């Protein structure tokens, strides 16, 4: 998989989830193709206990067969967050969402490629506690491969 000029490879390690999602959604709507790697290392700001409680409460909404369906994997959580920032019921939003790919870790075909980062989304500037997406996913029932 070659990264062209209209494609961006973003490393989500140490970046804030909502800020990644808003930036990526804007770029997708402008016609860019975006690949996000290391989704499990993105962070959500706030106290661990309250974030996990909110996530578990949210998972109780809906019906197992009828929906709405809630993702538990870190890559799917990040993808769903971006989807919430796109006009997904309009053709341009659907086309933009199809241009997004999110991976846990770095796939073999993307190893060694130059990644971008989003400077405004760095978790280093947070003064509050935070939780990684991988830790949250494990709390709500995701079991990673190899465990």
Architecture of domain 7-139: Alpha-Beta Complex (3.90)
What does the pLDDT look like over 28-48, one tens digit per residue?
999 999 999 999 999 999 999
Q: How far apart are CA 79 and CA 39, in angstroms?
A: 9
Q: Please work out, in degrees rounded to the nearest 5, the angle formed at the alpha carbon of residue 15 by the alpha carbons of 14 and 21.
A: 150
DSSP H or E stretch at residue 111 = none
Least Cα distance to 37 among 12, 63, 60 occurs for 12
The pLDDT tens digits of the residues spanning 71-129 come to 999 999 999 999 999 999 999 999 999 999 999 999 999 999 999 999 999 999 899 99
pTM: 0.91
* Share in percent of the chain as helix, strand, coil (round to 5): 40, 15, 40
pLDDT for residue 2: 54
pLDDT tens digits along 4-25: 568 999 999 999 999 999 999 9
């Amino acid at each position: 998989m070659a990264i062209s000029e209209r494609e961006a490879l973003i490393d989500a390690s140490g970046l804030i989830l909502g800020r990644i999602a808003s930036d990526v959604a804007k770029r997708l709507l402008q016609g860019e193709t975006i690949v996000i790697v290391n989704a499990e290392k993105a962070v959500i700001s706030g106290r661990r206990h309250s974030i996990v409680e909110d996530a578990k409460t949210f998972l109780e909404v809906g019906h197992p067969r009828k929906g709405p369906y809630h993702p538990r994997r870190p890559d799917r959580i990040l993808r769903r967050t971006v989807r919430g920032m796109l006009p997904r019921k309009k053709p341009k939003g659907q086309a933009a969402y199809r241009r997004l790919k999110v991976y846990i870790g770095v796939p073999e075909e993307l190893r060694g490629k130059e990644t971008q980062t989003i400077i405004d989304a760095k978790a280093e500037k947070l003064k509050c506690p935070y939780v990684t997406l991988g830790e949250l996913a494990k709390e709500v029932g995701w079991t990673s491969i190899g465990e």
